[in-house]
């Protein structure tokens, strides 16, 4: 039988006591394991390896934590590609022991690591964001859907939003601050790049007659039903959270998240360059609604999937912080959605004339 939903857990025991207690835990749980002794010190240190289903890793890590051996052990979880064996019918960990809403989600520590790894090197993130915004602006000016799709593919927007959401649920303030900085910087860089490129196009690159601004700005979706815009963003956030918390591909979800953000930013840049304030306000509101909705949906989804702390005191603190952040995001989203609705109702009849 072939299995892909497995992890190789390697534990470095640095003392004889740690080795004995860890092996005793695995013997008690009837887990299959292998012990590799340190050739230089066979009496104390050892490497203990075992294969576990993804859904059982977190339970084993909690049992190891209960042994209180943090100073005497290191644990490495390796994502395996394929495991071939005839012994998969045996249940290593019973379903009753798996303290999780989702039976297929990765362990809390693995989620933490995946979220942190989604943050690229800062300079690369800034450059890729600027390039993506420029391509999106060109797509708006060309009124070309394929070009805008290209901008979505190269936009590095998934990592910061998912890292912010995971940091909120797991309660990693360092990761939260860093990922929030990424999101804010990315928004500023994307907007500046879009405006700069649009101004260059208007002033030097393309004759006015060669660009149909009415058609270009018609790609703005700020006059679309606000409920549909929020629904798309919420689905993107939930899809990102589910993909991050399982073995699913995050790259495709990243395109969906970029689809909610990059085209409106391109529209904002063009609207600023050609001085259409109504479109600027509307598309800017769409960008912010999408960002807030994606983050709120991902936070709630990860919490529901069971990544909140198990300790009661930590749970209360984390839940309080999460509720404050979610309520703030919801309030901002509702306020902007109301603004979009009013903008649609009061200025839509004038919009066509303004663009012309």
Instruction: Quick: pLDDT tens for 303-349.
Output: 888 887 767 777 788 888 889 999 999 999 999 888 888 776 554 44
User: Percentage of the chain with pLDDT > 90?
Assistant: 27
Q: How far apart are CA 170 and CA 316, in angstroms?
A: 12
Strand partners, 73: 13
Name the more confident of 220 and 199: 199
- CB 267 within 8 Å of CB 219: yes
pLDDT value, residue 204: 79
pLDDT at residue 220 is higher than 70: yes
> Mean pLDDT of all residues in the chain?
81
pLDDT confidence of residue 81 = 66
DSSP 3-state helix, strand, coil percentages of the chain (rounded to 5)? 65, 10, 25
162, 136, 186, 285: CA torsion to nearest 10: -80
pLDDT at 28: 82
- Asked whether the predicted pLDDT for residue 257 surpasses 60, the reply is yes
Above 60 in pLDDT, residue 183?
A: yes
What is the Cα–Cα distance from 214 to 285, expressed in whole angstroms? 20
* pLDDT, tens only, 226-243: 788 889 899 999 998 888
The per-residue pLDDT for range 321-330, each reduced to its tens digit, is: 889 999 999 9
Mean pLDDT of 66-90: 71
Decide: 220 and 279 in contact? Cβ < 8 Å. Answer: yes
**What values do phi and psi take at 52, rounded to 5?**
-135, 150
**pLDDT, tens digit (0-9, with 9 covering 90-100), for 91-114:** 445 544 444 445 567 777 888 888
Predicted local confidence at residue 2, as pLDDT: 53
pLDDT of 38 reads: 61
Tell me how crowded residue 147 is: count the other CB atoms within 10 A of its CB.
17
Domain architecture of the chain: domains with CATH: 2-99 (3.30.70.120), 109-355 (no CATH)
Check: pTM over 0.75? Answer yes or no: yes
Between 331 and 45, whose confidence is greater? 331
Q: Kindly state the helix (H) or strand (E) to which residue 84 belongs, with its residue range.
A: strand 83-84
Q: Per-residue confidence at 356, pLDDT binned at 50, 70, 90? A: very low
Position with higher pLDDT, 340 vs 138: 138
* Higher pLDDT among residues 73 and 348, named by residue: 73
């Amino acid at each position: 039988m072939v299995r892909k939903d497995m992890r190789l857990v390697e534990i470095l025991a640095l003392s004889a006591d740690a080795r004995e207690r860890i092996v005793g835990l695995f013997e008690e749980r009837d887990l299959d394991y292998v012990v590799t002794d340190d050739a230089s010190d066979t009496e104390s240190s050892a490497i203990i390896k075992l294969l576990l289903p993804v859904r059982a890793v977190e339970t084993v890590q909690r049992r190891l934590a209960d042994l209180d051996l943090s100073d005497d052990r290191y644990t490495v979880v390796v994502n395996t590609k394929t495991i071939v064996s005839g012994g998969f019918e045996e249940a290593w960990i019973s379903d009753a022991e798996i303290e999780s809403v989702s039976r297929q989600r990765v362990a809390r520590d693995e989620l933490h690591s995946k979220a942190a790894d989604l943050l690229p090197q800062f300079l690369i993130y800034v450059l890729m964001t600027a390039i993506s915004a420029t391509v999106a602006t060109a797509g708006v000016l060309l009124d070309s859907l394929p070009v805008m799709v290209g901008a979505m593919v190269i936009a590095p927007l998934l990592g910061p939003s998912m890292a912010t959401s995971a940091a909120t649920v797991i309660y990693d303030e360092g990761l939260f601050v860093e990922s929030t900085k990424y999101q804010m910087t990315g928004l500023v860089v994307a907007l500046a790049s879009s405006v700069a490129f649009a101004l260059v196009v208007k002033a030097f690159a393309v004759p006015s007659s060669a660009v149909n601004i009415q058609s270009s700005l018609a790609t703005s979706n700020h006059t679309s039903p606000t409920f549909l815009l929020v629904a798309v963003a919420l689905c993107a956030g939930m899809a990102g959270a589910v993909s991050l918390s399982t073995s699913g591909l995050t790259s495709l979800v990243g395109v969906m998240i970029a689809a909610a953000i990059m085209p409106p930013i391109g529209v904002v840049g063009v609207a600023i360059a050609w001085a259409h304030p109504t479109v600027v306000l509307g598309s800017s509101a769409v960008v912010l609604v999408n960002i807030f909705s994606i983050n709120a949906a991902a936070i709630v989804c990860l919490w529901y999937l069971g990544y909140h702390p198990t300790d009661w005191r930590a749970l209360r603190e984390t839940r309080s912080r999460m509720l404050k952040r979610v309520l703030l995001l919801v309030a901002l989203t509702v306020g902007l959605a109301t603004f979009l609705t009013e903008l649609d109702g009061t200025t839509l009849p004038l919009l066509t004339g303004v663009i012309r």
